[in-house]
A and B are shown apart, each in its own frame.
Chain A
Amino acid sequence: MNRAGTWLIVAVSAAWALAALPARAAPPAMTRDEIITRGKGVVKFSYWWGHGRWSTTSTAHGSCSGSCPSCSHSGSYGADCSGFVAKAWQVPGTIAVTTDAHPYSTYHFYNQSNYWGTVSRSSAKKADAFVYNSGGKGHIFLYESGDPWGWVTAIECKGCSYGCVRGGRSISSSYKAIRRDNIQDFPDKDGDGVADSKDNCPSNKNTSQTDTDKDGKGDTCDTDDDGDGVLDDKDNCPTTKNATQIDTDKDKKGDACDTDDDGDGVLDDKDNCDTAANKSQLDTDKDKKGDACDDDDDGDGVLDDEDNCALVKNADQADADKDGKGDACEADDDSDGLPDATDNCPLAANADQSDVDEDGKGDACDDDDDGDGTPDATDLCPELANASQSDLDQDGVGDACDDDIDGDGSPNVRDNCPELSDPNLEDADEDGVGDPCDDDIDGDGVFNTVDNCPSVANPDQKQGSGDKGLACSDGDTGDTGAGDTSDESGGCSLGAAPAGRDGLARLGLLAGLALAVRRRRR
């Protein structure tokens, strides 16, 4: 073989040897407590020869029967002694306890030093192991602690009958002590896995090293964890700074650390009033601020203290009845005893609900009570429909509601001619109709307009002198000279009028009035 060939063999062999070496890197760093904590998880699980697997949650421990290795196992979990220690030690590497693995037997633990080494029995510490292997048999267990007699508390998968157990035991001299590599071992007075030099509570176990107020003193040994000046035993929030100690709901848990400050059962992060108890979460104006803590519940811009309707938006603060309660939130705004809903004038007190024109709007709030189209303010008869606004006597009171339409001093009811002024109430024919408005003054059956003696009853209409009837011509048969005074004194003064133009016009006017009155009466 030449030199090149030889070197090739050497190189290949060396490479293969190195490749075959298990990664000799140290197993993951673990503290002794971590190992023990992990190891304790196996207690109560069954012995399972050639396996190593348990669960931190399952209570299905499995079972073993018979004499191992010719034993039978049922269930999914269990371990034998070496499978257990390898898993507790996490050798050769990190692996979940639930993953079945059995990387080493007691032979390996006793005779090799892959990830561990032999130590003096008397120097064994927590998380070390004791192992023996001889004549094809072997056992290994985890050392948890010692007792005053030098016995050890061991965690071990002891055998098929026992299963995996924890308890004190003696150790024969056949066992030797071994220690896993890469255990974080340092002065640790309190055994919390944190070196004293780095421990913020070197005399108190505090693996987490929590130091809330960052004062360099861990909470476990700090009398004021949050550094708020209130000692923890008096602090209603020992780990949350709250010098004021405000405790809204008096539940002895300060608001600063209380998830429900007001104790209303609604957590603060969902509470629209986290410091005012309001289980209902009522928020009238939907402004995300509950009424219990909102200065303006209805959001109308008027603060509740001054709002006459705190829960009903009424920026105008209208209060018709001035009772201090705004109309917007009052059921009887005008306080007339009738609910607004049925009040024909909700904002005007009108207990009688008078509604002259029956338009559904009470008179008290109706601008045109009588519905005649003329506003009350200018209506000569505001409560009596009088579209014409007729006012015969021009006295400002409409005829429709005037007791003395013609203003002659006689009330209409006693006036024999209510629409024509006749202060003397003359009624020549005494027919009840005053002469001014009587179409037949003399009652002779002939209308005045055609009566040749309108003031003298002459049903026969015998012609006297001129146009006058005989009855009123005073023997004068047709002589109607101006000097004839007898005619005038004869009580036929009216009769003289028709003789002239003025007389006729006056008669015509009277007749028209009479007709108008009749029509009106009808």
Chain B
Amino acid sequence: MASKRVLTGATVTLAVVALGIGLFRFFPERMTKNGARVAVPRTSQAAPAPSAPTPPRVPVRASREAKVEQVFRAPWGGRKGELGRKAADESSPEGPMAFAVDGSGRSYVLDQVNGRVAVFESGKEPRSIPVPADTFQDVALTKSGGLALLDRLKDGTVAFTDASGRVSHEVAIAGEGIQDAGDVTGLFQRDDGTWLEVSHANLVKVADADGAPLDDRVIVQGRFGGTDRVLRASRSGDRAAFVAERNARGVSPLSKVSFDLPLRELLELDVDPKGNVVLAASLLEEGPAPNFDVLDAREVVVLLDPRGAELARVELPASVGPEESFRRIRVGADGAIYHLGFEESGAIMRRIWL
């Protein structure tokens, strides 16, 4: 009698489990009249949506005495002094895509979500320069005091504005040296004109010093590192990056920079006024299968002397959240390294002296 009761109980349990499996497999999708399947709104999901794993917070750590100071902290939002981020359903979340720094240390943050460039200057109220689209992804300052804005995905152009943000003209990106505007990975405004980097490899000069498009584009195999040097960086295995230099004597390896976590992606390569090389990277360590959770994530800035010897490095917390950015690290004319990080509450600009 007792065994019979146990068997019946087990059977009922089994039935309930089977019923549950059926419900779970059946409801996540449904068919429309024409046979197309549509996503069920999240509110109707049977199971609660788990959150993406959040990597542990990493404090700023430096290999030698480094001065890290906060330039500003801007809450997320659309008001003055705030920066916009967008994280909509079924589309790419994004924060401020890039920024530029002028010789006075003013930060021009491309706050494209709010349709503006937010200008932060120490001791002053933030101001903004309106920009005509929310699809710009990089910004540079022109010698005339205006902006060069990179729209590589939507229109495939570089837009030049005056100081008020009014667009004076645009230069098409695709052309000699750039097959697909989407391959552009950086906008560089130099005294001699406007350069675009393609797939972190070549630089292509697309406009002259006045922003006029060039019929015959100049192509340089690397990224400028001063007046007579061209640098290139690339991943080297899982935990290292390779920096090479091209100069009048040819190409020579400069340095192999190792990391204690797997290298996820390089973030910046530049040269400071002293000729030191700045290399920034994003590091990420995953857990084991099947989930491959993020165990650790950091951003690292490494300073190399002109010959490639490492002078210092600083570890910064990885940005929090899924927001996409394009260029969040710049080397200022003052020699400082500017880093824009994303936090839960807003964006933070750090100035780092190594």
Residues on A lying within 8 angstroms of B by beta carbon are: 1, 3, 6-7, 9-10, 13-14, 16-22, 47, 49-50, 67-69, 80-83, 92, 99-108, 110-112, 117-122, 132-139, 141, 147-151, 153, 156-163, 165-177
Give how many B residues have a beta carbon under 8 Å from the other chain's beta carbons: 83
A6 close to B36 (CB less than 8 A): no
Q: Does B265 contact A (CB under 8 A)?
A: yes
B8 close to A150 (CB less than 8 A): no
Question: In angstroms, how far is the closest chain B Cβ from the Cβ of A260?
Answer: 37
- A20-B25, A167-B181 given. 6 additional CB < 8 A pairs? A10-B15, A47-B91, A151-B200, A162-B92, A170-B326, A176-B52
B200 close to A148 (CB less than 8 A): yes
A138 close to B89 (CB less than 8 A): yes
Q: A102–B297 Cα gap in the complex (Å)?
A: 33
Which of the residues A3, A108, A167 comes within 8 Å of B182, measured between beta carbons? Answer: A167
Question: In angstroms, how far is the closest chain A Cβ from the Cβ of B47?
Answer: 8
Q: A141–B93 Cα gap in the complex (Å)?
A: 12
Q: A68–B92 Cα gap in the complex (Å)?
A: 11
B8 close to A160 (CB less than 8 A): no
- Give me 16 A-to-B residue pairs in the complex whose CB atoms sit less than 8 angstroms apart, sorted by A's number: A3-B7, A14-B15, A17-B22, A20-B26, A22-B29, A49-B90, A68-B91, A69-B88, A82-B39, A102-B36, A107-B45, A111-B49, A148-B200, A169-B324, A170-B326, A176-B52
Q: Which residues of A contact B233 (CB under 8 A)?
A: 148-149
Q: A147-B185, A162-B153 are in contact. Are A108 and B29 (CB under 8 A)?
A: yes
Q: A105-B39, A153-B183, A173-B55 are in contact. Are A160 and B19 (CB under 8 A)?
A: no
Q: A183–B280 Cα gap in the complex (Å)?
A: 35
Q: Which residues of A contact B235 (CB under 8 A)?
A: 148-150
Q: Which residues of A contact B70 (CB under 8 A)?
A: none
Q: Which residues of B contact A169 (CB under 8 A)?
A: 324, 326
> Considering the complex, which residues of chain B in the window 183-213 have a beta carbon less than 8 Å from any beta carbon of chain A?
183-185, 199-201
A137 close to B93 (CB less than 8 A): yes
Which of the residues A14, A19, A137 comes within 8 Å of B89, measured between beta carbons? Answer: A137
Q: Which residues of A contact B153 (CB under 8 A)?
A: 158, 162, 165, 167
Q: A6–B6 Cα gap in the complex (Å)?
A: 12
A100 close to B36 (CB less than 8 A): yes
B23 close to A20 (CB less than 8 A): yes
Question: In angstroms, how far is the closest chain A Cβ from the Cβ of B83?
Answer: 16
A150 close to B264 (CB less than 8 A): yes
Q: A67–B78 Cα gap in the complex (Å)?
A: 15
Q: A6–B9 Cα gap in the complex (Å)?
A: 9
B38 close to A50 (CB less than 8 A): yes
Q: Does B34 contact A (CB under 8 A)?
A: yes
Q: A107-B45, A166-B180 are in contact. Are A150 and B266 (CB under 8 A)?
A: yes
Question: In angstroms, how far is the closest chain B Cβ from the Cβ of A396?
Answer: 111
Residues on B lying within 8 angstroms of A by beta carbon are: 4, 7-8, 11-12, 14-16, 18-19, 21-23, 25-26, 28-29, 34-40, 42, 45, 47, 49-52, 55, 86-93, 133-135, 152-154, 180-185, 199-201, 232-235, 238, 262-267, 282, 284, 286, 289-292, 294, 297, 318-319, 321-326
Q: Which residues of B contact A6 (CB under 8 A)?
A: 8, 11-12, 15
Q: Which residues of A contact B286 (CB under 8 A)?
A: 120-122
Which of the residues B284, B322, B326 comes within 8 Å of A134, measured between beta carbons? Answer: B322
Question: In angstroms, how far is the closest chain B Cβ from the Cβ of A246?
Answer: 42
A107 close to B29 (CB less than 8 A): no
Q: A16–B29 Cα gap in the complex (Å)?
A: 16
B90 close to A106 (CB less than 8 A): yes
A99 close to B90 (CB less than 8 A): no
A108 close to B28 (CB less than 8 A): yes
Q: A21-B25, A147-B200, A158-B91 are in contact. Are A99 and B36 (CB under 8 A)?
A: yes
Top 4 closest pairs, chain A to chain B, by CB: A167-B182, A17-B22, A103-B37, A105-B39
B152 close to A22 (CB less than 8 A): no
Q: A13-B19, A136-B42 are in contact. Are A147 and B201 (CB under 8 A)?
A: yes
Q: A21–B297 Cα gap in the complex (Å)?
A: 38
A165 close to B182 (CB less than 8 A): yes
Which of the residues B34, B90, B181, B325 comes within 8 Å of A139, measured between beta carbons? Answer: B90
Q: A167–B286 Cα gap in the complex (Å)?
A: 26
B25 close to A17 (CB less than 8 A): yes
A122 close to B238 (CB less than 8 A): yes
Q: A162-B153, A170-B326 are in contact. Are A17 and B90 (CB under 8 A)?
A: no
Query: Which partner residue on chain A sits nearest B293 by CB separation?
Result: A176
Which of the residues B49, B201, B284 comes within 8 Å of A148, measured between beta carbons? Answer: B201
A133 close to B52 (CB less than 8 A): yes
Q: A13-B22, A122-B262, A165-B154 are in contact. Are A156 and B321 (CB under 8 A)?
A: no
A159 close to B92 (CB less than 8 A): yes
Query: Which partner residue on chain B sits nearest A172 by CB separation?
Result: B322
B49 close to A150 (CB less than 8 A): no
Q: A101–B324 Cα gap in the complex (Å)?
A: 27
A172 close to B39 (CB less than 8 A): no
Residue from the set A14, A110, A148, A151 with the largest chain B CB neighbour count within 10 Å = A148
A17 close to B19 (CB less than 8 A): yes
Q: Which residues of A contact B134 (CB under 8 A)?
A: 161
